[in-house]
Structure 1
Amino acid sequence: MRPGDMPGRPRRRPDLTLPMPQRDAPSSLAVPLPLPPPASAPPGAMHPPAGVTTAAAGAAPPPLAELERIRRVGSGAGGTVWMVRHGSTGREYALKVLYGNHDDAVRRQIAREIAILRTAEHPAVVRCHGMCERGGELQILLEYMNGGSLEGRRIADERFLADVARQVLSGIAYLHRCHIVHRDIKPSNLLIDSARRVKIADFGVGRILKQTMDACNSSVGTIAYMSPERINTDLNDGAYDGYAGDIWSFGLSILEFYMGRFPFGENLGKQGDWAALMCAICYSDPPEAPATSSPEFRSFVGCCLQKNPAKRPSAAQLMQHPFVAGPQPLPLAASPSNPS
């Protein structure tokens, strides 16, 4: 269903005006597939993709046989994420187990994505160590973040929120420089650890699995963070800029952290029907930060949540915004389970 056009109310321009860069189109994901492990490799061994050097891939991950499943840390329709531990070193990892009999085309796509994710090395991006197939399951070994996701967290302290935003922005800017568009930035895909380091997760493979599902079964939670022009292709003359779409999703997530609820309305974000949610995103004025927040934060959110994607600054430009470019906070001793 494609909603018809409706006139919108004039909205105040954000306080910060930044020149927009010329964005390159995302490069093709057609890269060499990972080679199978050599015959001498133990069963269940993780393997790096072809063409990735040891320096780029990092230390060789341990074989699955040496990993003990400690506890389940997440699950969904497509699979389960386990916290696992390497017996001899005590090092912890996250093991993402994808269920279902995926056809060859999907498997090849996932292998291509893993080859790219293995080369992604940035402090604000969750590290992918490798992939293997075992017992009909696709298993992906990832960096473990012991604080879990930021979904449902409220971060009312602007100084800490600015630090979260700065970290996520640096990761988005890195991915965009690599011509990688995330397409699913949202609180549940932003992870934190006990040192309050925040990292972006679940790009690439999760998107492929979503594309193989019936569009009618798409979760409302994911639609909630899509930009207006991605939901309704009649907007912006049918053009979709994935880089600008990531900025919208990021801005909405940061505003949600501050408000402690989904900015378009908590019922819409969590329980509302998809048609009402789509209309709210496409035809309502963009949500704004509360008047009680600082002018810098209101300006920052306004820059991210512009209806016209051409007016949204890039991630690199947003890194220069006064809200995130100010003094960085001192380390905080509070548990990440209650970051506010």
Structure 2
Amino acid sequence: MTENRSLEELVEQFLEQCRSGNAPEVSAFAAAHPGHASELLNLLPLVLEMEGLNAEITRRLPHQTSEVPELPDSDYRLICRLGSGGTGVVFEALQLSLNRKVAVKLLSPLLLKDTARRGQFENEARVIAMLHHPNIVKVFGAGCSAERCYYAMEFIGGRGLDQCEFSDPREIARIGLQAVRALAYAHHCGILHRDIKPANLLLDEAREVHVSDFGLAFVLRGGGEIVEKEEARSGTLRYMSPERLAHGVNTFATDQYSLGATLYELVAKSPLLPERNPGELAKRICREPVPPLRCSAPDLAAIINKCISFRPEDRYAGMDDLAADLQHFLNHEPVCAAAPSPARRFRLWIKRKPAVAALGFAAAFCAAAFVAALAAGYLRTTAALNQAERNAAVAAATLSQVFARLAEQLPSQKNTQLLSTLLPITG
């Protein structure tokens, strides 16, 4: 019987139906398999996000294939489609009153009567409208009726980080710092994003990052926590923190973990965990610490590894501390996530103060050259004195021999007395 099938088999069956274009409703599919109903309700939305099937299913809907819908009695004219997600489609549009390009997110008509999804969509617009930061997309307006539900936002002429490649760890740190500062601002406003991933970080043409898609955001006042019910848990499985996936616990540390997983993927050019099977991936996230990142920038790796610590208390105390450490890395200063050796500190100081280091090395070289010159002069002088003493000794010995021979050749007593007087002088 179907109820005797494993959870993995049921998930695979659901995915096959989605891929074939006959996607069933999650609730209906779960109800058809009561033995795993609660697990399916929790897992299937995550599977759709991870597999990218939400967007694929949305693309297959007739109302979104080729035609661009209209927004009657609004200030916006939709031009072309930019992308789609689990709840709707994003269009490039023109704001008529100001003649400026904007992006309009339109809720899927199939979800207009879904009270929960519609409320989530409206909440996203309200949350973004509360935030005013250069690295968070701006909302310009919203509108809802029985036929349409939409909001207009800043047009970012770029792409998600999931479509970008980076070769320089410092560029990743610079981009990461922008995202961290945006999230730090959101956290200070009491907003928890809950769906940080590469696709939700948009990189514009000026290489500036913009945090987008606050569809799952919570208002979290006072730095506490929110616990989700199992059936209401949603997000992107691959970037979920262990405490959120296992227990539904949402704190500001969960955003930090998701951002750490994102930065890990950008540096390593591969996901934090390689498992593709949703069940195996979920078990791995909940039960085991992830393998530490190793790269050519050990301090950046230490920062990212701290963000993805298994226990929330082992991560940074807040986004401000994470931002400070990333800034230390960019400034060639020691980071709090790692304890560098004295040699490492010295190398960082050289990178941080190259001009001072160059002057110091030049002064040390000149001092060494001066000492070497003094030593060489001293050695030359000492050698000359020693040579002079040796020459004097040789001359004295030679002179003694000369006088001795003269004494032998002049045997008279008078000359003998004269030589005996001179010989002591030469000796």
User: Under TM normalisation by the shorter chain, which class is it?
Assistant: 0.5 to 0.7
Runs of 5+ unmatched residues, structure 1: 3-61, 329-340
The reply on whether 1:307 has 2:320 as its aligned counterpart is no
The reply on whether 1:170 has 2:174 as its aligned counterpart is no
Rounded Cα–Cα distance in structure 2 between residues aligned with 1:326 and 1:242? 28
SS in 2 for 1:183: coil
Rounded Cα–Cα distance in structure 2 between residues aligned with 1:147 and 1:78? 21
Runs of 5+ unmatched residues, structure 2: 1-5, 8-70, 220-227, 333-427
8 Å Cα contact 2:241-2:257 kept in structure 1: yes
Rounded Cα–Cα distance in structure 1 between residues aligned with 2:87 and 2:229? 11
Rounded Cα–Cα distance in structure 2 between residues aligned with 1:64 and 1:324? 51
- Displacement of 1:298 in angstroms is 1.3
More helix per residue: 2
Partner letter of residue 101 of structure 1?
L
8 Å Cα contact 2:124-2:217 kept in structure 1: no
Rounded Cα–Cα distance in structure 2 between residues aligned with 1:323 and 1:87? 41
Rounded Cα–Cα distance in structure 2 between residues aligned with 1:207 and 1:75? 22
Alignment of 1:187-226 (within 5 A): 187-204=198-215, 222-226=236-240
Partner of 1:182: 193
Partner letter of residue 170 of structure 1?
R
How many residue pairs are counted as aligned between the two chains? 253
Alignment of 1:83-102 (within 5 A): 83-87=92-96, 89-99=98-108, 100-102=111-113
Alignment of 1:1-340 (within 5 A): 65-87=74-96, 89-99=98-108, 100-104=111-115, 107-108=118-119, 110-134=121-145, 136-204=147-215, 222-233=236-247, 240-265=249-274, 268=275, 272-290=276-294, 292-313=295-316, 314-322=318-326, 326-327=330-331
SS in 2 for 1:275: helix
Rounded Cα–Cα distance in structure 2 between residues aligned with 1:255 and 1:293? 13
Rounded Cα–Cα distance in structure 1 between residues aligned with 2:331 and 2:245? 37
SS in 1 for 2:244: helix
Partner letter of residue 188 of structure 2?
R
Partner letter of residue 246 of structure 2?
N
Rounded Cα–Cα distance in structure 1 between residues aligned with 2:208 and 2:161? 12
- Displacement of 1:77 in angstroms is 3.4
Partner letter of residue 142 of structure 1?
M
Query: Deviations along 1:88-147, whole A, 9 cap, x unmatched?
Result: 644211100011223456545654553332121011111122210145221011111110
Identity within the alignment, % = 30
SS in 1 for 2:106: strand
Partner letter of residue 84 of structure 2?
S
Which range is displaced more, 117-126 or 105-114?
105-114
- Displacement of 1:299 in angstroms is 1.0
Rounded Cα–Cα distance in structure 1 between residues aligned with 2:326 and 2:237? 30
203 and 66 in structure 1: CA distance in 2 versus 1, 3 angstrom threshold: closer
Partner letter of residue 226 of structure 1?
M
TM-score (norm: length of structure 2): 0.53
SS in 1 for 2:187: helix
Rounded Cα–Cα distance in structure 2 between residues aligned with 1:135 and 1:213? 31
8 Å Cα contact 2:159-2:202 kept in structure 1: yes
Rounded Cα–Cα distance in structure 1 between residues aligned with 2:315 and 2:74? 47
- Displacement of 1:86 in angstroms is 2.9
8 Å Cα contact 1:94-1:141 kept in structure 2: yes
Rounded Cα–Cα distance in structure 2 between residues aligned with 1:205 and 1:229? 17
Rounded Cα–Cα distance in structure 2 between residues aligned with 1:66 and 1:114? 17
8 Å Cα contact 2:265-2:272 kept in structure 1: yes
318 and 64 in structure 1: CA distance in 2 versus 1, 3 angstrom threshold: farther
- Displacement of 1:177 in angstroms is 0.4
Rounded Cα–Cα distance in structure 2 between residues aligned with 1:249 and 1:78? 21
8 Å Cα contact 1:71-1:83 kept in structure 2: yes
- Displacement of 1:214 in angstroms is 6.7
**Relative contact order: is structure 1 or structure 2 higher (C-alpha 8 Å, sep ≥ 6)?**
1
Measured on the aligned residues, the alpha-carbon RMSD in Å equals 3.2
8 Å Cα contact 2:242-2:286 kept in structure 1: yes
Rounded Cα–Cα distance in structure 2 between residues aligned with 1:287 and 1:104? 41
TM-score (norm: length of structure 1): 0.66
97 and 294 in structure 1: CA distance in 2 versus 1, 3 angstrom threshold: same
8 Å Cα contact 1:93-1:144 kept in structure 2: yes
Partner letter of residue 291 of structure 2?
P
107 and 321 in structure 1: CA distance in 2 versus 1, 3 angstrom threshold: same
